[in-house]
Chains A and B, each alone.
Chain A
């Protein structure tokens, strides 16, 4: 997203500027020292200056103003990027578990998953606004496709996390788990293919319908839970939390 890139590089610019100012101050003091050495090699004790109250007020106020400005920008940026109110064309229920992903296209009744050593393939139509409802049952995971420009955790007991993405460009991308989740965390990836709408529709037609969502067994403290759970839309409440909209919703809602 364009605004995001502007914000990122703006922040990098401010950071670089601050670094150069510090480096400049250091180099100045070093060069001045060298010059003094030349002029007055026996000079020993410099003026023992310690307090300059006005200067101190200035150099406390200026960083404060910079920070206030940055904060305003950050909040503005967060609100601009906040698309949690957008109406999705496509809803995908995501379950992450050690160490695979499963994607359930809610309206299409299609479910895709991976297998041992095989990354699942997620197809998205270009131009669509897609909502990902994020859920995990074992440990915490995090859904991240770098091109989405945001990531969001999948937390056991928290069923309200979601992100909304508008697919703008065809291409193939790699999604990963970004929150360390155990032994094969590194291999917990998926392929994302953004394809034109007609290709997507064809792909959907070729998928078997009604495949149970969430396969495999989840070991819990209470023994092995039933191996197949079909998530009905009612268990996934509409998520009030969009990107950057911090609303406290801790677990326990199940």
Chain B
């Protein structure tokens, strides 16, 4: 029809990439290519490497806590273990993996050839990798790695209480990854605002892109605070700064709690920086395997924006027990976040209800995400209440809560994403059977490990304790044992995954462009996409599922309000400023 004609006139297939003299392969390609797919894959593989390292640390801690009065790991080593476990999982794994997916998928989903700043993208990756290695290298110094916990409360983390190079390396590594995150965020925002294909209006961006956009804004708001606080802490440690300690000099002193304010101003939005990309992934997966559009797409976008806005105003809910924060304010705003998060659950369930579900490995992980994450969500609302928090904070209840959010939410969605996009990443499908085995091991192991930790916390087990005694009672003993056995099962669940990747590399099922019959634009490109991404003209973009609309004419979304969603030929950037500034 006319629309099609108009579009194809403006939308010539992307030109062939200039002939390269000789494409490097293997490790040299990784080190030199600025192609967004190579950088994305590098991020993902590196993150999984950090995940395995951090996971082994978790296993070591559970081994130490399996029985009372255990002497397997001494206090000093244990303290280093939980510090590194937290730092690696939060700063070098979960968020970085999302960056990898975003690097690979965002240009494809918006119909672009690459990211806006390709070399900057490479710089981000190298800063991230070096940051991780710098933090880990602390383990090989004289006093060992940093051992002041991943939130490095002052004055414990100053040069007097935690001497040694390990702490300095921790600050350096965290600052490096902070800068890397800022550069990536700039890149994502620019790419999504300026490089969308014709017709791809803001309200036709796939949900994953929307979520990454909000995440990038949050990064720009909070990562500079972390990096600045890190520099101040470094000044305290090395140059006698006294910013964060209470030593009185000439009648004035520094303020230890200031560190907590700065750190959590970064640290709480960081949780949303970690989880929002995975909300996006799960949304794509559920929509594809329900064969339906995302239910209430716009409501979902506004919910994401609301979460992003609220998340920068709740940091002090980590600090109720300090006695220096205004409890009703932070309690109210923290609880309010439950509303947009609840809306998302309606979106996900609404997408599934009435859909033609296919129970792929990816969908298993997505449903596992829904069931686990909701527990982390409701315990979060419980902890927002000051009277409960003053009892439960700094106990295993909190440990259970944030593992339900970040593992039950994040990691389950992460594997949903891997199984979903693996065909696009490599051109081959991961084996479904091994994937489902991994899911069940992970689901059982995860819940066994962490559900009982709620009870341990309510029984009075504080977090970050290297051991407990037989005198603490039978409940401590048995619940800890259950948790440790669960951790073994959870650890074992990575083996089918690694085997699956190896097996697929050797003899995986080769698939075409769109093996899942999904709707977003990345499925229009070949699998794996070549340099330049698309080898044919893009389909007309009239919704957030252009490929679906093109491949299933007559089955477009039944929009209640058809009008007002933008003109059919699209106005690029029409609502960009609205979305980007929130």
Contact = CB atoms under 8 A, between A and B. Distances in A.
Interface stretch (A121-129, A194-202, A203-211, A217-225): A217-225
B579 interface: no
B299 A49 contact: no
Contact of B355 (A14, A33, A185, A248): A33
12 contacts: A22-B374, A48-B558, A74-B387, A142-B321, A152-B321, A152-B390, A158-B323, A178-B394, A180-B153, A180-B463, A186-B466, A248-B326
Contacts of A155: 246, 256-257, 322-324
Interface residues of A, number: 92
B321 A153 contact: yes
Given A151-B391, A151-B394, A244-B327, A46 B322 contact: no
B259 to A, nearest CB: 10
Interface stretch (B28-36, B189-197, B290-298, B567-575): B290-298
A50 B252 contact: no
Interface stretch (B18-26, B169-177, B338-346, B502-510): B338-346
Interface string A31-75: 011001000000111111111110110011001100100110111
Give the one of B147, B327, B367 with max A CB within 10 A.
B327
Interface in A1-18: 4, 7-8, 11-12, 14-15, 18
A26 interface: yes
A55 to B, nearest CB: 8
B386 interface: yes
Interface in B146-172: 147-149, 153, 155-156, 160-162
Interface of B: 75-76, 79, 147-149, 153, 155-156, 160-162, 240, 242, 245-249, 252-258, 290-299, 320-328, 331-332, 335-336, 338-339, 342-343, 345-346, 349-350, 352-357, 359, 367, 370-371, 374-375, 378-379, 381-382, 384-388, 390-391, 393-395, 458-460, 462-467, 471-472, 552, 555-561
A75 B459 CA distance: 24
Contacts of A7: 385, 387-388
A63 B339 contact: yes
B557 A50 contact: yes
A160 to B, nearest CB: 7
A164 B193 CA distance: 55
A178 B395 contact: yes
A50 B296 CA distance: 6
A54 B147 CA distance: 53
A56 B299 contact: yes
B156 A26 contact: no
Contact of B292 (A49, A245, A250): A49
Contact of A144 (B296, B326, B370, B462): B462
Contacts of B249: 222
A117 interface: no
A15 B149 contact: no
Nearest to A40: B356
B561 A19 contact: no
